[in-house]
Structure 1
Amino acid sequence: MKVVLFCKKPYSFGILRPLQMEAEQAGDEVIWYIDSDITSIFPYKADSTITSSIQAIVDFKADAIFAPGNNVPHFLRGVKVQVFHGLAGGEKGLFKKRKKGHFRIRNYYDLYLTSGAFFTKRFNQLAKKHGDFEVIETGWCKLDALFIQKNDFKEEKQALLEKHQAQKILLFAPTFSPSLTSAEAIFNEIITLSKNPNHLVLIKFHDKMNKEVKAKYKQAAQTLKNLVIVDDPNIIKYLIISDLMISDTSSVVYEFLLLDKPVVTFKTSSGNIKWTNVDKPELLISSVESVLKSDINQKNRQWIIDNYHPLSDGKSAKRMIEAVKNWLKNNTVPEKRKLSILRRWEMSKKYGKIKK
């Protein structure tokens, strides 16, 4: 099978990497399409074939194109496979305020690979309505490392705690959306938490976080030894080593919950809150301290695990590759998609003229 990994954002590196490893292990030919503005930070150049030329992808004539984004060029050959960039959806029951995400069908994809029953059920409903894509539950490839490596960083965590003379690691991972982010609203509280010698506060910003907000935190970190900004685009290790997460309406909340660890959010828009949420900044610190002392939400988290991603064997990428191969055995590679004139024009404008 000839595989394209379609990557437009740095957060997609860690999502698509397990698919590369699994496909190559199975003898498949793999090429990454990476937007030219992020190729310089691509971490897997040593053992990957990459290109920023859409014409090269056209000439490659793929059998399958895996993409975590909202769209993929309709004119490329290959079954278009949606693998998602998070576990958060965008409708009542998951998020009250809509985020552009999971359940919006844009007509670019032939196959949706879902992580758990909550998503599979909804996409099957949408598949019946639209009639031009199929759904297979496989688990999410990005989380393979989360489950495989969950016991790998014990020594590194201990060394980090000793270096900062702290007892617990708190991970602050806010979303970037101006209407949903907590980054500015709880700035003072995050700073106060980092001044507690018992806490090491790690901050992992979304790639799209406001630059002025990031600069504000970076300036503070220069004088606070227990406030550390994480620049690594792959958040997996920091999910594993942290004891508690502070966030808002970010899909990474669900990834952390799958490790069966506590979360405190500020003004989350989730419709299924299985953790501690506060709506006033002044309540954050006491809530964090309380949850660290007594993990009262442990039983509630099981619902998230059971419904969002029950498969914890670290083999989701393998299932995804096999699912696509099985799909191709029963279907021909789609030659075109039914898209509106506007969306076709948008794709042509973005990627330019190509020769088939």
Structure 2
Amino acid sequence: MNYLTATKNKKYLMYISQNYSYAILRPIQAAVLANGGEVRWFLQGTDVNPSFLQSHEKQLNSIEEIHEWSPDATFAPANLIPTFFPGIKVAVFHGFDAHKRDTDGEKGHFAIRGCFDLYCTQGPNTTKRFAKSAQKHGHFKVAQTGWPTLDPLFSKTTDNPYKSDDPRPTLLICSTFSHRLTLAPRLYEKIKSFSTQGKWRILVQFHPKMQTEWVTKYKALSNQNLTFVETDNVLPLLQVADVMLCDTSSVMQMFLVQHKPVVTFCTRQPFPHLLDVTQADEVEAAIEHALTKPSDLMQNIESYCQELHPYTDGQSSQRVLNAANEFLQSNEKLKPKPLNVIRNFKMRKKLNYWKW
């Protein structure tokens, strides 16, 4: 396929409902524009901030405008997407499977909701599951592409606002927002003590849905040793950190693909590629051990990454675009999507769109 010709003059819609989705879809946008296509953005709901759009990014403000523009494909890092949009719908995921719940069968990360025509999977351990579902249902296709979000992670750019001449190791602390799973309250006193020790340069970044109470308390810890970061793009933080402390947030997988160690606190499912602890008093020793990069741990991380996301070439966005274009050109007849009457009614009500 001539990929430049396949993309040229085609229209691609970026559909987002959370601020972190900007960073997920912008690498795909860059691939589209580099190959002569057009891009528009649709921001759904109040959780996404339109001020984060860059000056060259063009927004569609209504479903009517989407139909008038008539995209060939819509990319969505979401579980759901309106089936009444023109063109094919492409799932690119908002994260990795973080094992926060039982995901046997078609649950959690692997749920099939009858919205998408194409799933662009991140690596073998997701491809196998979605390919099995595709064979079962017959109304969508699967292409293993890698996750476009990570493309900038493997770039050689030196423009990183968190890069520092500080000789101390950099510890990145990330946490999910779930009351049941978050480390924020359970490790607050321990992290407070770390902030006064000065052994490490500490960066703290929480999920955007983290409770305000804990955001406020951790912000108050900020000093010359600890910086609380609020951002819609976590990748620069991942690049500069030497080790991560996390719970069950899928951001840990984004860190691991760099072949860097992660210490987890009471993670949902401990694995040999993680250093998991269950007591606050065990955290400091685990971080010190992780910083030595023990050979058995690093070998386990290598094996895990080959299944999770084997791509380090920064070209996953181009593979996603290629997969979408191949789908558009194939004219392959798939089974009709399920009607999903209740789900589609709720989506129409949410978007206040009743035309057929």
- With normalisation by structure 2, the TM-score equals 0.90
CA contact (8 A) 2:173 2:203 kept: yes
Q: CA deviation at 1:198?
A: 2.3
Counting only pairs closer than 5 Å after superposition, residues 181-200 of structure 1 correspond to structure 2 as: 181-200=182-201
Runs of 4+ in 1 over 6 A off after TM superposition: 332-336
The RMSD of aligned alpha carbons is 2.3
Q: 2:123 aligns with which of 110, 116, 119?
A: 116
Distance 1:38 1:245 in 2: 27
Displacement of 1:280 in angstroms is: 1.3
Shift of 1:36: 5.6
Q: Percent identity, aligned pairs only?
A: 34
Name the structure 2 match of 1:207: 208
> Are the counterparts in 2 of residues 55 and 355 from structure 1 also a CA contact under 8 Å?
no
Aligned residue pairs, count: 344
- Work out the CA distance in 2 between the residues paired with 1:303 and 1:171: 23
**Structure 1 residues 60 and 273: CA distance shift in structure 2, 3 A:** farther
> Which residues of structure 2 form unaligned runs of 5+?
1-9
Counterpart residue number, 1:247:
246
- Asked if the contact 2:153–2:235 (Cα under 8 Å) also holds between the matched residues in 1, the reply is yes
Displacement of 1:103: 0.5
Superposition pairs of residues 1-356 of structure 1, within 5 angstroms: 1-35=10-44, 37=46, 40=49, 42-88=51-97, 90=99, 95=100, 97=102, 101-149=108-156, 152=158, 157-159=163-165, 161=166, 167-221=168-222, 224-270=223-269, 272-296=271-295, 297-331=297-331, 337-355=337-355
What amino acid does structure 1 have at the position aligned with 2:265? F
Q: State whether residues 97 and 269 of structure 1, in contact with CA within 8 Å, keep that contact through their aligned partners in structure 2.
A: no
Aligned pair in 2 of structure 1 residues 155, 174: CA closer, same or farther (>3 Å)?
closer
Please identify, of 172-181 and 288-297, the stretch whose mean Cα deviation from structure 2 is larger.
288-297
SS at match of 2:52: coil
TM-score normalized by the length of structure 1: 0.90
Q: Is the 8 A contact 1:153 1:241 kept in 2?
A: no
- Equivalent position SS for 1:31: strand
Look up the SS of the partner of 1:234 in the other structure.
Answer: coil
| Counterparts in 2 of 1:52 and 1:219: CA distance versus 1, 3 Å | farther
SS in 2 for 1:343: helix
Structure 1's 71 and 310: CA in aligned 2 closer, same or farther, altered over 3 A? same
- Which stretch has the larger CA shift, 81-90 or 118-127? 81-90
Q: Which residue of 1 aligns with 2:3?
A: none
The one-character-per-residue Cα deviations of 1:119-170 (angstroms, maximum 9, x if unpaired) are 1111111111222111001111001001114x636896233x2xxxx60111
Q: Deviations over 1:302-328 (max 9, x none)?
A: 112111111111011011111111111
Structure 1 position 43, deviation (Å): 3.2
For residue 16 of structure 1, report the CA deviation from its aligned partner.
0.2
Uncovered stretches (5+) of structure 1, i.e. residues with no partner: none
> CA distance change for structure 1 residues 200 and 267 in 2, over 3 Å: closer, same or farther?
same
Question: What SS is found at the alignment partner of 1:173?
Answer: strand
Contact persistence 1:171–1:245 (CA under 8 A): yes
The alpha-carbon distance between structure 1 residues 113 and 187, as it changes in their structure 2 partners (threshold 3 A), is same
- Report the Cα offset of residue 64 of structure 1: 0.4
Q: Structure 1 residue 335: deviation in Å?
A: 12
Q: Is the partner of 2:109 in helix, strand or coil?
A: coil
Change (3 A) 1:97 1:195: farther
Amino acid corresponding to residue 31 of structure 1 in structure 2: R
Three-state SS of the structure 2 residue aligned to 1:3 is strand
Give the letter for the 2:15 counterpart. F
